Chains A and B, each alone.
Chain A
């Protein structure tokens, strides 16, 4: 270690060093009073001195003793052997006589100690135990009890055997106490011998010091730049929000209009307008949250949708056959996808071009587990224009995923009831392989024709939760919506 110079020490460290020169070793309290600073500061400085090799801090364990309830009793009224010997005076006494005055137990305790302390001899004569008093000597046991009773804990002058006996008699208990002892090292002593000068230090600039310029004359305490400080966390957006914001930005940059809509939708907009047959399994109670209410639907459009479902309208489709039920279409549901919003937007804006996107909650009657939730965030985009094609749909997907940071992308045939052709884009994730991250397709003519849309509609959707889990390293989708505060605080904003 490089030799320490007094300039490397703070004023408090110097005070401690000087205080230590006056005593060989000492306790924190004494050291603090010697240095005339508070105990916490004194110890912090002592530790810093230790790090510099100038002081040494050791732990010394001492035992202190206190009386048990029995010990208190004997301290006040005398030990049994003492009370018995005093009762006997100088007379030989039979044990049976003693037992008339003292309890069995007291007598038994007393007998043993009378013999050990040499205060009496005990003989057996015929059927009797006879106690003959000898001389009474000084009793250190009682002295210890008396001292402890008077809260005097300085027992150094006593034979350890005495203490041990009292511990065994269960009259006193021992408590361990460890004390720090601070002392100087040779290096510390040498440095102190070279002379220490205490210069007043400033730890905190004040308005007064700044205004008066006095700070220039004072010594500003240097900070250890590596010393730990209090951890603070700034308030911020939810990490999931940042991911959604990123996607929102991508769509806006690509010239899309943001749209929103109601959570409660009629089955008409959620299913029928998307050419989902009325007996489709996805429409059943097991998969969709129905409400008790019914809503209004545009009747003229409903007639066209009805014709499309039943006979395929007049566009060369077979339709689904059967009877289309208006009342069923009016039942309200919690939207099962944001496509209910995009299709409504297209119905309101049938003229090209339309480029729109929607980010919103969707609801499905899924049992909750680590990867399924009954509500989740969906992201959806549509492009409608003359002469857009499947190739353009793949182009939109490729651009979107590229901007999301996925370089490798492939397309597989998919199936969605309202698109044809349909495609499942997959992205390559290092370490996980190909991951399906959404679905896409061109809206069927059966969907677009009744709405008066005469051009192809490219559409794609993304379940964002899966992507979020991937990005945020979550194992459980629920953690997004029921976050651990510590995770929220610590989750860095630079994830992607």
Chain B
């Protein structure tokens, strides 16, 4: 989750109250305070609230929550003369674009850094790591409108940020750290996205890197912001950035975007209107609020709210990305009301508790095994072919393999419990004997669940007769008719292994573990084992 650094000095200035009040209350709008330092706090916000990924956004929300300033924040958007054309060539690649100009900023290193971190959080939170949305912020004074957004030849060169000599776009993808990191987004494309100005100077190569020419420094006063992407969420990302800058008294101006012979202006900061019914709020929350109380809580959460007969008309700020449905507004009513003010009430619903038959069976088998002197273990189900099959001298079969394992130790889900138990013995060889353990649990056979009981006994005189007694004892408890015959499971010693048949089908195996298997697990004591299918 995005971590936002809240510098107290800045925070107190932006909110207008002391830091203790703020830090104390900030978790109650939905945040985890990770670290409280001398001059700042690091706070994590939830991925559904990208508008809180900046200190300006947090300040805006907290002013409302603390009722210092409530209701819809309104931002003026003047028209600028800046324009940009979306060339036809870019449409199959990365067709969506939203732009804005923000003027009269007083930037310094203290405000540039949070701006960059907001940009990165948005790349993560809305942009799906720049795939869906990427944001370029430029020093407007270095470039000349009108701009052109097009698909360009990969051999076109420009000086990218962090470099002092020109590179072709192709080369940037190979050697620039950002190019290398995000090249996969452009996989298979013959032409790459490029934004140039009236003099054919490159602004940026979205979604990879900006040109060094437009780098934002502490002398930058006016910004040109372009957001490119593969869907309409470019607009919300732009809105979040420009409103955050507006909170720093930047003056937002719109940009004309020409495409397909049409023209539109961005950003659009006008709120969307939703209607909320009083009864819907109260039935979902279990409260008894009137329209006025609902409106007040919505205003605390920075919505515009107008009361009408059955409910409230809500103006949703243009920077809110998370309001899909009325329930999202109702949650905000609850947050505004205060989670700490709810009186929990257990629902009086008459139902009868019921166990699951498989769990019942597990429980009975655990009782039997404990009675027989075996201690329960609960082991990992993720394992690998070497331990599971090779070390057990078993052929690789019924494998459920994961596609992208994290490590060579966990490549498959087990199809038998015995190898897990051998591993436990192997970890405990420094402890006294006998060691007797069992597990009831799940295995996967070609992706299908099956339930198993397995037990294992290790001591200097462990033998076939011992484990046969155990196996028969368990089978007796299960009350099924069974027959025992010689088995061919190579994990066990030939002549000292048997399988269990119930109505002609094989449901289990027991015997003396093969000495090679014992050695494979770093052990040297006789081991006998038993595994039973209880599905």
A residues near B (Cβ < 8 Å) are 235-238, 240-241, 248, 251-260, 262-264, 279, 281, 285, 289-293, 312, 315-322, 332, 334, 353, 355, 361, 363, 365-368, 373-375, 383, 385, 387-392, 394-399, 410-415, 417, 420-423, 436, 442, 444-446, 456, 458, 480-486, 488-489
Q: Which of A241, A373, A413, A420 contacts B378 (CB 8 A)?
A: A241
- Report whether A365 and B406 are in contact in the complex, using a CB–CB cutoff of 8 Å: yes
Q: Which residues of B contact A480 (CB under 8 A)?
A: 378
Interface flag for B503 (CB, 8 Å) = no
B207 to chain A minimum Cβ distance, whole angstroms, is: 15
Q: Which residues of B contact A367 (CB under 8 A)?
A: 406-407
Q: Which of B335, B359, B376, B401 has the most CB of A within 10 A?
A: B376
Q: Which of B32, B375, B380 contacts A235 (CB 8 A)?
A: B375
The number of chain B residues touching the other chain, given as a range, is 35 or more
The stretch that binds A, out of B291-299, B307-315, B428-436, B471-479, is: B428-436
Known: A423-B339, A481-B380. A256 touches B353 (CB 8 A): yes
A189 CA / B48 CA spacing, docked (Å): 91
Determine whether B366 belongs to the interface, using a CB cutoff of 8 Å to chain A.
yes
A238 and B378 contact, CB distance less than 8 A = yes
Interface core residue of A334, A366, A420, A423 (most chain B CB under 10 Å): A420
CB distance from A163 to the nearest CB of B (A): 46
Residue of chain A at shortest CB distance from B32 = A436
| Nearest 5 interchain pairs by C-beta | A389-B286, A391-B286, A415-B46, A413-B30, A394-B344
Q: Which residues of B contact A388 (CB under 8 A)?
A: 347, 349
B residues 37-86 near A (Cβ < 8 Å) are 46-49
The docked-state distance in angstroms from the alpha carbon of A320 to that of B126 is 12
Give complex CA distance A262, B437 in Å: 26
- By the criterion CB–CB under 8 Å, are A399 and B29 in contact? no
* Residue contact B347 to A251, C-beta cutoff 8 Å: no
Q: Given A238-B377, A259-B356, A293-B447: A485 and B349 within 8 A (CB)? A: no
Q: Which of B167-175, B190-198, B320-328 contacts A (4 or more CB under 8 A)?
A: B320-328
Q: Which residue of A is nearest B47, CB measured? A: A415
- Check A255–B349 contact: CB distance below 8 A: yes
Residues of B423-445 whose CB lies within 8 A of A: 423-424, 427-428, 431, 435-437, 442, 444
Cα distance, A289 to B132, chains bound together (Å): 23
Question: Which of B330, B349, B447 is close to A353, meaning CB atoms less than 8 Å apart?
Answer: B349
Complex Cα gap A422–B48 (Å): 12
A484–B287 alpha-carbon span in the complex (Å): 51
A291 touches B376 (CB 8 A): no
Asked if A291 and B29 make an inter-chain contact with CB atoms under 8 angstroms apart, the answer reads no
* B358 close to chain A: CB less than 8 A: yes
B345 contacts A391, C-beta separation under 8 Å: yes
Asked whether A292 lies within 8 Å of B331 as measured between CB atoms, the reply is no
Task: A440 to B428: give the CA distance in the assembly, Å.
Answer: 39
Determine whether the beta carbon of B444 is less than 8 Å from that of A483.
no
A403 to nearest B CB, angstroms?
Answer: 11
Evaluate whether A241 and B376 lie within 8 angstroms (CB atoms) in the complex, with A289-B402, A375-B382 already known: yes
Chain B residues 232 to 263 lying within 8 A of chain A, measured CB to CB, are: 232-233
Q: How far is the CA of A423 from the CA of B46 in the complex (A)?
A: 12
Query: Which residues of the partner chain A approach B397 to less than 8 Å between Cβ atoms?
Result: none
Contacts of B404 in A (CB 8 A): 285, 289-290, 365
Residue from A319, A353, A483 in contact with B324 in the complex, judged by beta carbons closer than 8 Å: A319
